[in-house]
Structure 1
């Protein structure tokens, strides 16, 4: 009888551990627009594993967030007026030790932070 009850319990524990692993393996990615007041929305397109995972128009002052899986690189492209930029919103080697990753978009480029107080420039705008 104990063996029969043990199987459902073992399956429940396995399911629970897989759910916890899935929850823990997600990172929160924020993209913040710090563009000039009269700027049009930024068109942001991010891909991971060849799939389009983020397509969003970010307005001035807005903070857009999503969950990223820890093993995927999130390659992003952003357009603003006649400028374009390519950057990584999440990169496992760089960001795996952090639960939250902040990217701030400004007129002079793209900046990365893990605490919203220290920022490092990671990309520049490109024009034709």
Structure 2
């Protein structure tokens, strides 16, 4: 092959490689299922007839939060990425408290994380049988 053919071959390969890299850069990441996730369930264990609890959870990244009202007995399940930390602020009858619903260090080996909020405080479980009181209002 002549030198001119080698130059043309190298330019062709460089163009293909550049197009491949450029295409990879502009592809949106819209497949959340590609990231390993954990289910975090928050249940309000307040007596019937009590007011709802308001909960706002933040992924500790700007503009990534979810808020909801849960009546007594209500449950909300969140799907969270395993590399995240979810901090939640709860309000009930003028009382306020903060709890970490999912912590990548504390909950690293768990597939599911369960919370119950009741008049005395916040309880964490990984199996819905053994509950540990984590904090109060």
TM-score of the superposition, structure 2-length normalised? 0.72
Aligned residue in 1 for 2:52: 41
Shift of 1:122: 1.1
The answer to whether 1:63 aligns with 2:78 is no
Query: Aligned partners of 2:74, 2:122: CA distance in 1, in Å?
Result: 15
Q: How does 1:82-101 map to 2 (within 5 A)?
A: 82-101=94-113
> Which segments of 5 or more consecutive residues in structure 1 lack a partner in the other structure?
1-18
Q: How does 1:5-44 map to 2 (within 5 A)?
A: 22=34, 25-44=36-55
Query: Aligned partners of 1:74, 1:52: CA distance in 2, in Å?
Result: 10
Larger radius of gyration: 2
> Which segments of 5 or more consecutive residues in structure 2 lack a partner in the other structure?
1-30
TM-score of the superposition, structure 1-length normalised? 0.77
Count of aligned positions: 106
Query: Aligned partners of 2:57, 2:134: CA distance in 1, in Å?
Result: 16
**SS of match in other structure, 1:51:** coil
Contact 1:45 / 1:52 at 8 angstroms: preserved in 2?
A: no
The answer to whether 1:118 aligns with 2:133 is no
List, as ranges, runs of 4+ consecutive aligned residues in structure 1 with deviation greater than 2 Å: 19-23, 50-53
